[in-house]
Structure 1
Amino acid sequence: MPSDSPHSSRKRRFRQDRSMLIGAAAGVILLIIFIIAGSVSGAKKEKASKPDGSDGVSSKVVSSKLEFEKKVVPLSDISKGSLILVNDSHPYTSATAGGSLADIDSEKNEYYSIRDIGMKMNDLALKNFNSMMNGFYQECSNRDIMVTEAYVSADRQNVIYNQALENSRVESKGGYSEHQTGLAVDLGIYPEEGKSFRYVPSGDYAWIRDNCTKYGFIERYRDEKAENTGIRDHGEHFRYVGIPHAWYMKENDLSLEEYLQALKKYAYGSKTLQVSCFDRNFEVYYIRARDESGSGNVELYVPVNCEYTVSGNNADGFVITIEK
């Protein structure tokens, strides 16, 4: 038989090349469809794993690259923890913020003194305060600091309040003072020789104000934040809140009131606040307190196999802090 003409051969090769191109294009389209379908399915699964209070989630969920589980706590725990807010709008009725009251005299180091025997402080706050006073001495070789006020009962606070009125100073009434939590401390300066005076952040003593965040303390009542706190002229008052929170508040010029409000943007299931300070890394998030069953309990989501702390805010929710 006669062989194909050159023109016929070219037409046949063209048809073959076109078929191969069509097949390749169809394969690419199918691959894209499979990828999109897989992504949608994965997104649905991820969305289903995040609790919204109504979707019947399992006991463990995954968020922020960590595994979480449910933890049931009493609603009353909202007034416990190092981040509780106590002011004229948020009364405090619990005791020692959920920790134990420690006797300062028996637990203190030699780098500071106390006004009276029998003074007490929240055990965790006291541990960190001792570390801060050790750091102050190592840096400044100074032992002049005296604790003039620490834990105060509601009855004792009312006495302080009435005395302050007579001297035109602002103090909180009993039931509305941070001193009742055991987390707060007032400082004085008592040199071995010379007149004693209230703490002011000048000279060596400025070290405490400038470095307190390393030990989890904040200068609680800065005059420039009096509009938020309601209190001014209390530069001697320091409050324990925990290291990442103290650092973040100082770096972002926030009062405790402002910080707790800002944390509500970092609700569980959406995003966490990432804090890196002093060679340590933390994640912080907020969970609104809801007692949907009427049992007096609330459900929190806490990390699995990871160090964390839980603190109420003494208002409407809980703050979980993870150290990674």
Structure 2
Amino acid sequence: MSKKKISKEKSIQHAKMTTEIVISLVLVGACAFFIRNGLNHTKKIEPSPYVEQKAADIEDPTATTLPDPNQTIYESLSVETKSKFRGDLILVNKEHQYFGGSEDLVSITDMNYENEIDCFSAVDSTYTILRQVYGPMTKMIQDFYELYHNDTLLIYGSYRTTDFQQELYDNDVANNGGEESTRVAKAGFSEHETGLAFDFSETENNDYQGTGDFEWINANCYKYGFIVRYTSSKEKITGFQNEPWHFRYVGIPHAYYMDSNDLCLEEYIDLIREHPYDKLKDHLEFSDDKGNDYEVYFVKSDDGSDKTTVPVPAGVRYEISGNNVDGFIVTVYKGQKPIVEETPTKTFEDTSEENTENSEDTDSEETEEYNEY
């Protein structure tokens, strides 16, 4: 091959390579132009001054938040405002009237007969008491009997009608020659009208002073939900003289606290009022001598409405009682599940007006022997 021909081929290759380099440079320059132009037209978006800037929380789908087992969850319960005049903790005294009616009463002697109880008695079958009081009253007397084998206890005062209470009051005024009775509560202002109270006597001496064997009852009645309502140390507060025979049902938690802290019912009602629901960390909390834990708080009644909203714990046993003054008392049985109420297997029904008339006639016979009201 001649040198001239080889030189021509090299020239062609050189020209081809030069052309490719030029085209590549043009393409690189064009890309750079478009990229720079795009960046020049890009505007930075500033954060809004009206939105608080926070780091985004990224949830871990595997994480589990466990509820605090010690935290009480409350829910709202609507109750009749007028029900503040009902319940185991109603305060009935010379200043606060009881607005009675529709009491669930049972005959003490009839219930004793049905349940084969023979360690105590009542004057006759017309002596009645609230159904929920009969059980703990009977249990207390049975335990007393097992200790002392003393069957002389007699229920000598129990539920009274307003009419009979008025009769007692009028008789006491007439017998003592005064304008007012200093021993008998006026009609409407006696605990006996609630069915929550009863009086002891005994069949040997017809007198009960809470001494001797009976001292055990007065010292241990709180274990069954009862208090000795009137004592000499609280006479200025209650307005009544010492009456060791007069017992009032308030429920075990409250009877325990009152006994342990030497409080009468008036003092206890005032104390609970100082622990309103709104102050969640300042509810009244205590444990009894059996290790049961309680929480008690007060809810003021909405007297301008037919209904009052009462906060109650969810999934926990609780009870609501009016205080017969200005609101409701909620008792929480901490750690206990709600109780499912069952229909009583034994009932007593007053089936005739004759029973009521007999009750008034029989009760009037005890007027002269009463020293407690």
Tell me the TM-score normalised to structure 2 length. 0.66
Q: Which residue matches 2:143?
A: 135
Residue among 260, 281, 288 paired with 2:293? 281
The secondary structure found in structure 2 opposite 1:210 is helix
Q: CA-atom RMSD, angstroms?
A: 2.0
Give the Cα–Cα distance (whole angstroms) in 1 for the partners of residues 309 and 100 of structure 2. 21
> Larger C-alpha radius of gyration, 1 or 2?
2
Q: Deviations over 1:205-262 (max 9, x none)?
A: 1011000000000000112111111111322100000011111111111110010001
Q: Which residue matches 1:200?
A: 209
AA in 2 matched with 1:203:
G
AA in 1 matched with 2:300:
R
Q: Which residue matches 1:85?
A: 91
Q: Which residue matches 1:181?
A: 194
Residue among 257, 274, 290 paired with 2:302? 290
AA in 2 matched with 1:283:
E
AA in 2 matched with 1:282:
Y
Residue among 321, 327, 336 paired with 1:311? 321
Give the Cα–Cα distance (whole angstroms) in 2 for the partners of residues 144 and 105 of structure 1. 15
Count of matched residue positions in the alignment of Structure 1 and Structure 2: 256
Give the Cα–Cα distance (whole angstroms) in 2 for the partners of residues 112 and 91 of structure 1. 31
Unaligned runs of 5+ in 1: 1-33, 35-61
Displacement of 1:173 in angstroms is 1.1
- Please tell me whether the aligned partners of residues 218 and 244 of structure 2 are also in contact (alpha carbons under 8 angstroms): no
Q: Which residue matches 1:39?
A: none
AA in 1 matched with 2:203:
Y
- Please tell me whether the aligned partners of residues 110 and 125 of structure 2 are also in contact (alpha carbons under 8 angstroms): no
Matched, 1:220 2:226: no
Give the Cα–Cα distance (whole angstroms) in 1 for the partners of residues 149 and 332 of structure 2. 35
Identity of aligned residues (%): 36
**Which aligned pairs between 1:208-287 and structure 2 lie closer than 5 A?**
208-270=217-279, 271-279=282-290, 280-287=292-299
Displacement of 1:94 in angstroms is 2.1
Displacement of 1:295 in angstroms is 3.7
AA in 1 matched with 2:294:
F
- Please tell me whether the aligned partners of residues 106 and 128 of structure 2 are also in contact (alpha carbons under 8 angstroms): yes
Give the Cα–Cα distance (whole angstroms) in 2 for the partners of residues 275 and 95 of structure 1. 34
Give the Cα–Cα distance (whole angstroms) in 2 for the partners of residues 274 and 220 of structure 1. 23
Unaligned runs of 5+ in 2: 1-53, 55-67, 335-373
Q: Which residue matches 2:38?
A: none
Give the Cα–Cα distance (whole angstroms) in 1 for the partners of residues 83 and 314 of structure 2. 21
**Which aligned pairs between 1:32-51 and structure 2 lie closer than 5 A?**
none
AA in 1 matched with 2:183:
V
Tell me the TM-score normalised to structure 1 length. 0.75
- Please tell me whether the aligned partners of residues 235 and 242 of structure 2 are also in contact (alpha carbons under 8 angstroms): no
AA in 2 matched with 1:100:
D
Displacement of 1:278 in angstroms is 3.5
Give the Cα–Cα distance (whole angstroms) in 2 for the partners of residues 107 and 282 of structure 1. 31
Q: Which residue matches 1:118?
A: 126
Q: Which residue matches 2:71?
A: 65
Give the Cα–Cα distance (whole angstroms) in 2 for the partners of residues 295 and 114 of structure 1. 43
The secondary structure found in structure 1 opposite 2:247 is strand
Displacement of 1:119 in angstroms is 1.1
